[in-house]
Amino acid sequence: MPAGKPSQSSAMLYTLIAFVTISIIATVCAVYFYVKAEDYKTQRIAQEEALNRFASSTEQAQIARIVGRPAQGKTILGTMDALLNEMVSAVTGMAPEETPATVKANDAKVKINETIEMLAADNFISSTEGVNLVQIIRQLKSQFDTLNTNQRELAQRYLKLQDDFDAAEEESRFKEQQLIDEKNRWQALADENQAKHDELRRLMDKSTEEQVQNIMDKLEKEQAKFRERSMELLTTQEELNKTKESLATALAKLEAIRGPGLDIEVAAFKPDARIVRIDDQAGIVYLNIGSKDHVYRGLTFSVYDRNVPIPEDGKGKAEIEVFQVSENVSAAKINESTKRNPIVPEDIVANLIWDSQTSNRFVVAGDFDFDGNGAIDPDGKDRIVQLIERWGGRIVSEVTVDTDFVVLGVKPVAPARPTTEEIQLDPTIEQKYEAALEMGRRYDEVFSRAASLSVPVINQERFLHLIGYRSLARKSSPF
């Protein structure tokens, strides 16, 4: 073997060993990296699946539009959780507990449903189907606005009632002063009668002969007065007969002008307006008359069916009272009505006293019972007079051909003639007796003249119905 050959073989051997070693290392490394790559691939696939469960690829691309900018120091999921907590807190009014989002959303939904059912049970909303929180809030806002409006209207009505109360109180004080003055007048009259009684007692204490002479002198004077009055009565009777003949002639001419079959009460059944709109919920109707027709607050009307004549008894289907007046329209509250015959548009209204064109003339006589308890009201006639004067009518003392209506109560009952003993105990009782007789004669005279002059006679019940005041008549004050 030539020199240097072993060294060359060793180098090749070392080279081969090194190559094999490097190949083995490369193979091991390749296997190692392949295994690691497969692990990473498996992890990446698992992470992608987890990410897809969290959000789809489209949602991931639009994450900024869906969530918005994350809160400082928070992740997107943390921001979503914070927003969910804010929404649940806004709905329930309480801070949400640390529970899953599904539990928070379900709790909020349960509270919303409970609230909707509670509102439906209290009739704040009409139905629980297809409603949401925004709709409910809007409905409640609308109801709140309506309540505010009603509250303002009630406040206005309260102020009106306060004004009415103040007026009634002032009227009561005025009446009280009148009664005090009347009491003082009667007391003065009683003192005067007492003085006369004492004088009479003194005269009675005189001798019988003087008393007889005094009585005879008085008797002669009274007989002279009687003869004088008899002559005056004959003259008056003759003039009355002539007047009756003239009146009969005038009535005959009047009947000829009226023609046959004309109802003397036709003016009492004339409608004054009609109803143009109704607010059933508020209990308000609107009339086609206003301030230009001289309508004012407090005026009452009876309501009658449209296209049907006003009934003879004057009783309407409802009673209304004006509380607000504009130029052409007025609003009235419903004081009394029936469900069987409700008010409808185009129904007519009437008030016997009020007239937009003229002022009717009334004669009032008799006793009146406003509260219906069977006892005569001492101020009954005054209340009738106040109603007539307040609503534009005029009170006249005598029935003439110019009188429009006569309002008659019940005939005053005359008491029994007082005895001498009663007169001695109460000297004013005889004057009261004469006053009662005069009231009865006045009642008969008014009734007789109304019949002879064909003036409509209205009793208390028809009068209250024809002015729409029957439901208010039992109040202590007429206004």
338 and 358 assigned to the same domain? no
Residue 315 within any structural domain of the chain: yes
Q: Are residues 359 and 393 in the same domain?
A: yes
**Residue 126 pLDDT > 90, yes or no?**
no
Q: What is the model's pLDDT at position 260?
A: 44
Q: Do 467 and 368 share a structural domain? A: yes
The reply to whether 437 falls in a domain is yes
Same domain, 215 and 306: no
Q: Do 344 and 240 lie in a common domain?
A: no
Q: What is the pTM of this model?
A: 0.47
Which of 302, 324, 350 is the last residue in one of the domains? 350
Q: What is the CA radius of gyration of the chain?
A: 51
Query: Which tokens in the block code for residue 243?
Result: 């007047």
Highest mean pLDDT among 51-55, 184-188, 216-220, 329-333: 329-333
Domain ranges, residue 400: 352-479
363 and 458 fall within a common domain: yes
Cα separation, 38 vs 31, in Å, equals 11
How does pLDDT run across 5-60, given as a tens digit for each residue? 567 788 888 888 888 899 899 888 888 888 888 888 888 888 777 777 767 777 76
State pLDDT tens for residues 352-392. 999 888 889 999 999 998 877 888 888 889 999 999 999 89
Task: Taking each helix axis as running N to C, give the angle between helix 133-204 and helix 208-258, from 0 to 180 degrees, rounded to the nearest 10.
Answer: 140
For residue 193, is it within any domain? no
Mean pLDDT of the residues in the chain? 81
Give the mean pLDDT of 340-358.
92
Give the integer Cα–Cα distance in Å for 458 and 409: 9
Q: Cβ atoms within 10 A of the Cβ of 399, count?
A: 22
270 lies in the same domain as 242: no
Higher pLDDT, 223 or 324: 324
Same domain flag for 296 and 334: yes
Which tens digit of pLDDT belongs to each residue from 226-274?
Answer: 777 777 777 777 777 777 676 666 666 555 554 443 356 777 788 999 9
- Tell me, yes or no, whether 455 lies in a domain: yes
CA distance 128 to 125: 8
- Considering the domain boundaries, does residue 60 fall inside one? yes
Domains of the chain: total: 4
For residue 245, being part of any structural domain is answered with yes
Shared-domain flag, residues 253 and 284: no
CA distance 94 to 77: 22
Among the candidates 301, 330, 350, a domain finishes at 350
Token match 């005359």: residue?
A: 414
DSSP codes joined into one string, 58-73: HHHHTHHHHH-SPPTT
Within a domain: residue 174? no
317 and 361 belong to one structural domain: no
Of 258, 293, 319, at which residue does a domain stop? 258
Task: Say if residue 326's pLDDT is above 80.
Answer: yes
Give the span between the Cα atoms of 299 and 355, in whole angstroms.
11
The reply to whether 336 and 277 lie within a common domain is yes
- Let me know whether 391 and 327 are in one domain: no
188 part of a folded domain: no
Q: How far apart are CA 253 and CA 364, in angstroms?
A: 27
